[in-house]
Amino acid sequence: MKTAIVTGATGGIGRAVVAAMVNAEYEVKPIPHTWSDKADILICCHAAPPKSSLDSVLAIDVSDTFSMILESADHMSKNKFGRIVLFSSIRAHRPLPSQVNYAIAKGAIESMARGFAVAYGQYGITVNCIAPGAVDTPRTRANIAAGIVLESELIQRTPNGRLATVDDICNIVLWLVSDGAAHV
């Protein structure tokens, strides 16, 4: 049985990812902002709270993720197997004025995924980054309620005409951690 660490497991996507991984019979350790060097799979769903300073966002979203990958990759490299899944956001490419710090961090996460994919691919470790677009989570609902974004605009920008569900995202995660995604 593969062991997975899921960070941000108290949030909308993170909580759903933990449940999906458990249902798929992975051993899951939900850890909000810590890491383990014994994981076969690392899924980083954590994000700094809204309105955090740039220093906090960079420390939580970027530096913590970087450290977790380094620690997990040592174990994964020895086993010649590893799956790392990170989360970006549409805001990395389409920032809103009130979410500049978040956009900076998510852009860094995308670069980190590309860099680590190249660095660790030779050890059987895949590194992928999901930028799910608008997902119907409590954080998205709070942004809609606060007038930061309009639900109609989010839906209009989505090709299938709806917000993604956490189940949509969980299906992507489950595939990325599977043997079927060994070359992705």
Query: Which of 26, 102, 120, 123 is an active site residue?
Result: 102
Q: How confident is the model at residue 30, as a pLDDT?
A: 65
State the pLDDT at residue 82: 97
Residue 32: pLDDT band (50, 70, 90) is low
Q: Is 102 a catalytic residue?
A: yes
| 161-175 pLDDT, tens digit each | 999 999 999 999 999
CB count, 10 Å around CB of 122? 9
Strand partners, 134: none
Q: What is the greatest pairwise CA distance in the chain?
A: 48
Sorting pLDDT into bands at 50, 70 and 90, what band is 96? confident
pLDDT tens digit string along 54-68? 999 999 999 999 999
